Structure formats: C-alpha cells, structure tokens
Structure 1
Amino acid sequence: MRAQHMIRAAILLPGLLAIAAGCTPTVRVQAPTEPITINLNVKVEQEVRVRLEREVEDLIASNPDIF
C-alpha cells in the first residue's frame, strides 16, 4: 500500500506543481511607445486673447480718435 501511495504521489506532484506555476499572476509594467502629450494650446490662446482684448479696449478708451 505504501509503495502505491509513493508512486501516486510521484506522478501527481509534478502535475500539481505545473498547474500551480501556471496560475501565478504576472504583472508587467511597460512604458508607452509614444510619449504622453498634454495639449494646453487652447488655454494659452484664450489667456492671450483676453489680455490683448483688454489692452485694446484700454487703448481705444484712452485714444478715441485712433480709428
């Protein structure tokens, strides 16, 4: 009986180890192939426009005969 248990264990143990090794989770962290870009052009253009509009309004108010 004991010999049968040893043979059975010798056969099942490698199989169980292979199954357990296949179930381990794998986490991979990779950098993206393309660089990450953040487009802030809209905000910058709006700030520039607001500043220019205020300067133009002040210029027209101080010199009404400019046009």
Structure 2
Amino acid sequence: MRYLALLVCITPLLTAGCTPTVQVAMPNEPITINLNVKIDHEIYVRVDRELDQIFSDSSGLF
C-alpha cells in the first residue's frame, strides 16, 4: 500500500519534468549578413596557328 501511494505521488512529478518547453526571444545583437563577395575569373583562349590559317579570310572557307 505504501508503494502504491508513493508511486501515485511521484508519477505526476516525473511526467511534468518530461514536458517540452518552447521559448521565443529576441536576439541581443542585430542580425548581420556579410555580402562581401569577390569573384575573379580569367578566360584564356589559345588558337593554334594552323587553325588561325584555316579560318582566315583568304582561305575561302566562309
């Protein structure tokens, strides 16, 4: 009988400790988004001299 009474008293305490809590709070510092982006690109085009001669105006290809 004592164990049953003890179990009845302890069960609500155990279930109350397992309930999740959600808190919504404002941040202390402002939100900053850093958009300093540097994009460097280099394009190298190399044409062989033979291809340059094929596509020249005097070749009559075009």
Give the TM-score of the pair, scaled to structure 1: 0.42
Greater C-alpha Rg: 2
Question: Which structure has more RCO (C-alpha within 8 Å, separation ≥ 6)?
Answer: 2
Q: Which structure's residues are more often helix, by fraction?
A: 1
